[in-house]
Amino acid sequence: MYMNEQTPRQIVKELDKYIVGQSEAKRSVAIALRNRWRSRQLSKEMSDDIIPKNILMIGSTGVGKTEIARRLAKFVEAPFIKVEATKFTEVGYVGRDVESIIRDLTEIGVRMVQKDRLAGVQEKAKKLADERILDVFVPEPAQSSNPLSRLFGSEENGEEKKQDDDENQPKYAAGREWCRKRLENGELEEKVIEIDVADNSKPVTGMFAGSGFEGMSDNIQDMIGSLVPKKHRKRKVTVSEARKIFTQEEAMKLIDMEDVQEKAVQLVEHTGIVFLDEIDKVASSSSSNGADVSREGVQRDILPIVEGSTVMTKYGPVKTDHILFIAAGAFHVSKPSDLIPELQGRFPIRVELKSLTKDDFKKILTEPQNALVKQYKALLSTENIDLEFTDDAIDRIAELSCEVNESAEDIGARRLHTLLEKLLEELSFDAPDMDEEKFTIDAAYVDDKLSDIVVNRDLSQYIL
């Protein structure tokens, strides 16, 4: 389970479905993933010495850095977390400490393994949930309500009680079977019943947020939870809703959470991926000073995590030696060489992502599995409007995106979102009241809506 067995070619092919261009970056991450699989095939002594080759992606915003890492983790089913380096502060300052990255990653790993285990016991949990629903409709025959009869009751009373139970049993079984048939036939789905549900509210959450003691809040909650019994409350729900609640509760009883946590820690240690975005924002040039002390402190704190250390989490110690780190930054103001030398050495693979061209924009609009044009068509189809883009319209939108990126700030593919929102603003507003079933957007329509804004550079800086 969760072993990255895909070949580099398969990984690149999968990434091509969602990301246009950037073949060099795709190849680098695919090789890094495959090398992790290769190391797991070796002897333990050898594999422990082979550490993953971390990657530094360099490129302006909107060229696909984050998307590559996100799609990669989803495809290989690995615990993945995206964090921004600017959110963390040097130890001693107010803010989050870098070890919280690994704690959060472990939490994601636990959820992944738990979800997988829950899927394996769903059928059994549904059967147990139906039994609990039947208990609501046909409760078991009530026992003797007089507790003293157990102490002072004669043998005759005991025999009478046994006789009553024997008489009630067939009625109870028959009623239960009748309800079971109705439940299986779906006749009771909308019937409202009253059930007992566990109260899972956590009032202490967030008590230590941002203070460097995030893990302490969870530990306190766990400690209190083990000392104080769980509260239950009454809820009135339909049978179909009750089945969902009961199925979830029964499924949780069927899985071994200790085993889940143990497997999750192993999963994080061997297949975890951490994406450190905005790494250039904590790089400081040698000529500057002031706040850069804190920036260098963040780099120094990140260093032990990247080079391999043990982080204590509430699920036990997690070793970071074999976690893959992918750092990314635009590096407009600073350079990769402005990072501290020790951190530079921990990112041996450097990939420069290219700025997007007009052809890239055209492909982004139409080729990916959920391309932007397909998204807008689907959105407006909910209003019974068949939206069509002509080839010359696609060409013109791509051309205008390039022009604005060159004249203003280069924000990559995000420029397409801005242009398309402006282009379809009027149509999206009027769509619910329109009688037309088909609406075609051509180059003339694009020029009518966008050309004036693109030409007026001052205006385009605010609108596009």
Residue 317 has a pLDDT of 93
Predicted confidence (pLDDT) per residue in 108-153, tens digit: 999 999 999 998 898 898 888 888 888 888 887 765 555 555 545 5
Residue 210 has a pLDDT of 47
| 126 & 246 share domain | yes
| 320 & 390 share domain | no
| 318 & 222 share domain | no
Last residue of a domain, one of 232, 254, 276: 254
| 111 & 197 share domain | no
| 279 & 379 share domain | no
| Assigned domain for 462 exists | no
| Assigned domain for 460 exists | no
Q: What is the SS3 assignment for 424?
A: coil
Task: Name the domain count of the chain.
Answer: 3
Last residue of a domain, one of 330, 352, 374: 352
| Assigned domain for 130 exists | yes
| 347 & 364 share domain | no
The values of phi and psi at residue 51, to 5°, are -95, 150
We report the CATH number of the domain holding residue 435 as: 1.10.8.60
Residue 340 has a pLDDT of 86
| 289 & 342 share domain | yes
| 152 & 181 share domain | yes
Predicted confidence (pLDDT) per residue in 123-135, tens digit: 898 888 888 888 8
Gap between the Cα atoms of 208 and 212, Å rounded:
7
| 107 & 127 share domain | no
Contact 315, 261 (CB under 8 A): yes
Work out whether strand 55-58 and strand 324-329 pair parallel, antiparallel, or are unpaired: parallel
| 328 & 377 share domain | no
Q: Please give the chain's pLDDT, 464 residues, in tens.
A: 455 678 889 989 988 888 888 888 899 888 988 888 888 888 888 888 888 889 999 988 888 888 888 888 788 788 999 888 878 765 545 557 788 899 999 999 999 999 999 988 988 988 888 888 888 888 877 655 555 555 455 555 555 555 555 666 777 777 778 888 888 888 888 888 888 777 665 554 444 544 445 555 555 656 555 556 667 778 888 888 888 888 888 888 888 989 999 999 999 998 899 998 888 888 876 555 554 546 777 888 888 889 888 999 999 999 999 999 999 888 878 888 888 888 888 899 888 888 888 898 898 888 888 888 999 999 999 988 899 999 999 999 998 888 888 877 778 888 888 889 989 998 889 888 887 788 899 989 888 888 776 666 555 555 55
| 316 & 207 share domain | no
Sheet of 349-352, strand order: 80-84, 273-277, 324-329, 55-58, 349-352
| Assigned domain for 464 exists | no
Alpha helices in 121-207 (DSSP H): 122-137, 148-152, 155-184
Gap between the Cα atoms of 55 and 328, Å rounded:
8
Q: Which is nearest to 160 in space by CA: 146, 140, 173?
A: 146
| pTM of this prediction exceeds 0.85 | no
Range of the domain at 62: 8-116+262-352
| 129 & 244 share domain | yes
Give Cα 187 to chain centroid, integer Å.
37
Gap between the Cα atoms of 21 and 363, Å rounded:
9
